[in-house]
Structure 1
Amino acid sequence: MGNSYSFFFALVCLVVLASTLALASAYCGPIKADDRDRLQFALNLEFFEAEFFLFGALGHGLDALAPALAGGGPPPIGAQKAKLDLVSRQIIEEFGYEEIGHLRAIITTVGGFPRPQYDLSPQNFARVFDRALGYKLVPPFNPYLSTVNYLLASYVIPYVGLVGYVGTIPDLANYPTKKLAASLLGVEAGQDAVIRALLYGRAYEKVHPYNITVAEFTNSISYLRNELAMCGIKDEGLIVPLELGAEQKTETNVLSADANSLSYARTPPEILRIIYGTGSEYEPGGFLPKGANGRIAKSFYKV
């Protein structure tokens, strides 16, 4: 335990250092937007989750199950059915159907926009995991290859939506949109908790064929998201030093939360920096190679 403690303590120190240096150039404050634009921004993540979960469990996505919700937007690149055990497949299938409901609820309430172009290919996920680990994995990480791989890839997604809703709700002006966002947050938080709990059950297992544990993967992914967002520590892996554990009494971290065990919050620019993988809300890439949709995201497009 001493070696793992030293590793995670060093990791936290690096996060703090990187975040402190980055704060000089990254804007971490609120943005100006109305309720409609704030909730529509969330569609970028809801589309992402819907396609990844539906393809992972069923081998097809919105175009087969709810084509009208896609609004004529292009199908995701490289999404495919994952090799999941029965229980995990049932959970992920349920998550996919829940995302259809989320899309419908947002579009019905504030209107929508066409599904953006997503890159959900194994090659893109491999690039994300290589960057998180700091070197190229051999063989390249494939999220669709096994249950644990898919759960690790899923670790990347709902949490970003969760902290986005936490950041959005205080800035909403009207009761109907606040109610909708709170309801969406409840389910997003549940999805994230289930994924983290499933991974925590394997925390010290090494992911085949890599000499890396599940917990180490999650810590690396969380570190990368903090680094890309450039607004401090708002993301933590499954095992942390006592300083970051609940009441500084546990190294387990099934739920990621602050010193008072409250959810972290992120702004739209932070979220774009993460899902673009560029560390800049002005430079699309990563999971959204052509950029996100909606007024908030497009306000950052370079002219």
Structure 2
Amino acid sequence: MMIFYALILLLWSVPLHAAGGFTKHDKDLVAFALNLEYLEAEFFLHGALGYGLDKKAPYLAAGGPPPLGAEKAKLDPLVYDLVGQMGLQEVGHIRAIKESIGHVAFPRPRLDISKKTWAKTMDHAFNKTLSPPFDAYANSINYMLASYAIPYVGLTGYTGAAPLLIGSGAKSLVARLLGVESGQDAIIRTWLYERKSEKVKPYDFTVAEATVEISKLRNHLDHHGLMVVKGKKLPFEVDDEGLVVPKELGAEKETSGNVLSADKNSISYQRTPEQILSVVYSSGNPKVSGGFYPDGARGEIAERYHKYRAKH
């Protein structure tokens, strides 16, 4: 019995990256997620603190170019506290990933989190030019709507990667990252859900309507279609849903409230790397960079699409 407990203690003391190891495939999948973690870290840190990795943890940025257009947002005390915590959590995520995958990790890619990019995203979501341009940094509601667009994409990426992982170390790391990413998404959605009927000033749409349009955009960018239910066109095979949905898409088809986005069994949706790139590039094409990654994402998986494009 003493030997059994000694073995358990030994396993608990093994570093994350050594627990069962990572295959090359595992490291590439986890490295792909690093792109999203960099984006989240810079957006949350700058939004709350007014600075990012270059001041907080320059060794993690590893000399990568500073993000374009990052600003400190005008946040109320609660949102400031929440966003600041999430930014610090992302620092830990980046460190955990880089320590786990070693030389496969890469410096921070060029990121564009400027007002202009957020304004374009919202214009794209509503299929019109908003006037005045949407300013993600103007207030707590705008900032949380912008935040709505970030952890959830990473969350669906982790759920998509989970069944493809081989090593127990990789599975453990992704499960633990996913736990916190899911929590961040739940915090953001719950905060917005409490305000779902409020107008997003100075526009004529509500918070809930904004989330629906953002989710529709992401479904469109990663190429999901439509079905007709009771004479209405509804998305099918969706991997993204706003805060309010038709009852046909709600939990057990009994509610239109949708504080968490999930499938008919209330299980998280999944995205492939190809779908994620299509969304974060805002191009609908993993080979055409842009959006939040003007020079493209980094790592073996993302760069494979760049190489394909260069050959054709």
TM-score (structure 2 length as normaliser): 0.86
By how many angstroms is 1:152 displaced? 0.2
Matched, 1:252 2:289: no
- Which letter maps to 2:38? F
Tell me whether 1:153 sits opposite 2:153 in the alignment.
Answer: no
Picking from 286, 290, 294, the partner of 1:285 is 290
Tell me the percent identity: 54
Aligned to 1:198: 191
Alignment gaps of 5+ in structure 2: 1-23, 225-236
Counterpart residue type for residue 256 of structure 2: E
Equivalenced residues, count = 271
Aligned position for 1:50: 41
Within the candidate set 74, 83, 100, 1:83 is matched to 74
Aligned residue type for 2:70: A
Aligned counterparts, 1:72-111, within 5 A: 72-111=63-102
For the residues of structure 2 that align with 1:190 and 1:138, how far apart are their CA atoms?
A: 33
Find the structure with the greater CA-based Rg.
2
Equivalent-residue separation in structure 2 for 1:183 and 1:94 (angstroms): 17
* Structure 1 SS opposite 2:305: coil
Flag structure 1 segments of 5+ consecutive residues without an equivalent: 1-32
Alignment-mate amino acid for residue 147 of structure 2: S
1:71 aligns with 2:62: yes
Q: Which has the higher contact order (CA 8 A, sep 6+)?
A: 1
User: Tell me, what secondary structure is at the counterpart of 1:296?
Assistant: helix
- What is the aligned partner in structure 1 of residue 229 from structure 2? none
Return the offset for 1:220: 0.2
User: Equivalences for 1:1-303 in 2 at 5 Å?
Assistant: 34-111=25-102, 112-231=105-224, 232-301=237-306, 302-303=309-310
The one-letter code matched in structure 1 to 2:222 is A
* 1:71 shift after superposition: 1.3
Could you tell me the TM-score, scaled by structure 1's length?
0.89
Say what the alpha-carbon RMSD is for the aligned residues: 0.7
Distance 1:187 1:46 in 2: 12
Q: Which amino acid aligns with 1:238?
A: L
Counterpart secondary structure, 2:204: coil
What amino acid does structure 2 have at the position aligned with 1:107? K
For residues 89-124 of structure 1, the C-alpha deviation after alignment (integer angstroms, 9 at most, x for no partner) is: 000000000000000000000121010000000001
Q: Which residue number in structure 2 is paired with residue 11 of structure 1?
A: none
Q: Secondary structure at the match of 1:141?
A: coil
Corresponding residue for residue 18 of structure 1: none
